[in-house]
Structure 1
Amino acid sequence: MRAKAVLITVMSLLAIGSISSASPDERGGGSRLDLVGKRGELRVCSTGDYRPFTYRDPGTGAWSGIDLDMAGDLAKRLGVRMTIVPTTWKTLVDDFRRRCDIAAGGVSITLERARHAFYTQAYVVDGKTPITRCENASRFRTLEQIDKPGVRAIVNPGGTNEQFARANLKQATIVAHPDNNTIFDEIVAGRVDLMITDAVETRWQAKLRPELCAVHPEKPFTFSEKAYLVPLGDVVFKHWVDQWLNLALHDGTYERISKPWLG
């Protein structure tokens, strides 16, 4: 059952394009933990195109998803309001560093991102696996089966899905599709053959679209983890957010929030 979408005040990128997460006075000292409290606002970067973690309805502008509800809980614990700052996978790190206090929405841990931001502790173990039309599931179980001339693999540009595809598919055709909210419709329509993405996303999309099947999501090709981005070097803020997340993972908060999406 899809979680109920909640309308959340969104700060447009235009409105804050020239404003960093902390003003020059704020950057003079103190942790982001103090700055967020003084500002009365937690700014959350999110892409809005990666269910079940983050989704922005193109018709209503309503945001929903596991990580947005979690970020809302974080803001509540901090005693501040939450403001979502829309971003894209290509600009995620830059937007986070300039505009946000935390980035949330199914963000995979990568060494490249870790050059520019701290990660919280991980909250999901995941990995890359195929999703295809159900009648083709037996054809695309291995990378050897997928990486053949004539096979069309679709990717969303700028993220770990594209990186994995370009690193592993040398003979198959890689098709870039800019809208991650409609990318699975391309597979349903037969315009492409498959997508390799995070196992948790394949499970969710297979629930939404009965024509599609997740291929061995229990045994993905890779190992990865998901976490939240927090400012590089701010150990006080990272420690506090880690403690919040650890409690949420063990006191039923995360289970309550994620259950409507993941069952």
Structure 2
Amino acid sequence: MKRVLLVLCLMLTMAVSAVAKDNDDQPVSALDSIVKSGVFKVGLDPGYMPFEMRDKKGELIGFDIDLAKDMAKSMGVKLEIVTTAWDGIIPALLTGKFDLIMGGMTVTQLRNLRVNFADPYIVVGQTIIINKKVADKVKSYKDLNDPKYTVCAKLGTTGDIAISKYMPNAKHRQYETEAEGMMEVVNGRVDAFVYDLPPNAIFASKHKERVVHLEEPFTFEPLAFAVRRGDYDFVNWINNYLQQIKGDGKYQVIYNKWFESADWVEKVQ
């Protein structure tokens, strides 16, 4: 009997030790460091209108900026925006330069291999800005799938991926910023620019004399905030936060400010 009890005790000790080891192996949530430091660090790449951009004074404004400020307020901490080039934003998150990517990032399966996404906070799709000289021949992305057309996108974006996937026969150019690609279309050096609907619509409305906006999205793209893999506590917090502000109307107020009104445009022109 004593031997049986001894074996049971040993087994229980081993089980407790295994659980403790598993708990030790669990990644520390960014929430812990945020609360401890009193600072919420958000990574984004300014220039994605109306999500994040600089006004005439050089201050960051936009849909994502307002959400980031409100998230920090909900945590009771200060907000620190870490501006980062888009093509290096995931490595920067993984190396701890900030706690969360909030830059209009589209959820893709490839990105999901490297980061965890919270629930989407908005859904957009890819649209196309074309130069007016090809407007009579180009009515959709299908018409651009031809070697005689040059189509461009911002490097590393889902627009960049969409060109390779849906327009493989077109000449494909990449630019560091969306502004470069858009102006190439305005100046007639490329035929089309592929990007998310909101910034494309805003840009096209200001250059109607030179470009045409093919405003029907040809992709489905949910945008979500990204955190380091394994940080399910943070994902849970973000999801609950989004549910709360969508339920109490705060999200709609912020959305209307940036998507239903053009009052902010004067601040960036």
TM-score where L is the length of structure 1: 0.81
* CA shift for structure 1 position 188: 1.5
Query: SS at 1:204's partner residue?
Result: helix
Other-structure match for 1:159: 157
- Equivalent residue in structure 2 for 1:83, among 80, 85, 94: 80
* CA shift for structure 1 position 149: 2.5
Matched to 2:143, the amino acid is: Q
Other-structure match for 1:48: 46
Cα-to-partner distance string for 1:28-48 (whole Å, 9 max, x where unaligned): 975322220111101100011
Other-structure match for 1:12: none
Do the aligned partners of 1:130 and 1:141 also contact (CA within 8 Å) in 2?
Answer: no
- Measured on the aligned residues, the alpha-carbon RMSD in Å equals 2.2
Equivalent positions of 1:224-263 (< 5 A) are: 224-263=221-260
Counterparts in 2 of 1:124 and 1:28: CA distance versus 1, 3 Å: closer
Partner Cα separation in structure 2 for residue 164 and residue 230 of structure 1: 24
Matched, 1:178 2:176: yes
Structure 2: give runs of 5+ residues left out of the alignment: 1-24, 261-269
Do the aligned partners of 1:127 and 1:199 also contact (CA within 8 Å) in 2?
Answer: yes
Counterparts in 2 of 1:188 and 1:120: CA distance versus 1, 3 Å: same
Other-structure match for 1:124: 122
Higher fraction of helix = 2
User: Percent of counterpart pairs with the same letter?
Assistant: 28
Counterparts in 2 of 1:78 and 1:138: CA distance versus 1, 3 Å: farther
Counterparts in 2 of 1:225 and 1:87: CA distance versus 1, 3 Å: same
Do the aligned partners of 2:201 and 2:215 also contact (CA within 8 Å) in 1?
Answer: no
Partner Cα separation in structure 2 for residue 170 and residue 117 of structure 1: 28
Matched to 1:88, the amino acid is: A
Query: SS at 1:125's partner residue?
Result: strand
> Whose radius of gyration is greater, 1 or 2?
2
The count of aligned residue pairs is 234
Other-structure match for 2:8: none
Equivalent positions of 1:147-226 (< 5 A) are: 147-211=145-209, 212-217=211-216, 220-226=217-223
Query: SS at 1:130's partner residue?
Result: strand
Structure 1: give runs of 5+ residues left out of the alignment: 1-26
* CA shift for structure 1 position 104: 0.7
Greater displacement, 92-101 / 160-169: 160-169
Partner Cα separation in structure 1 for residue 81 and residue 177 of structure 2: 19
Do the aligned partners of 2:53 and 2:62 also contact (CA within 8 Å) in 1?
Answer: yes
Do the aligned partners of 1:68 and 1:105 also contact (CA within 8 Å) in 2?
Answer: no
Do the aligned partners of 1:141 and 1:216 also contact (CA within 8 Å) in 2?
Answer: no
Counterparts in 2 of 1:146 and 1:243: CA distance versus 1, 3 Å: same
Partner Cα separation in structure 2 for residue 104 and residue 46 of structure 1: 6
Partner Cα separation in structure 2 for residue 97 and residue 135 of structure 1: 44
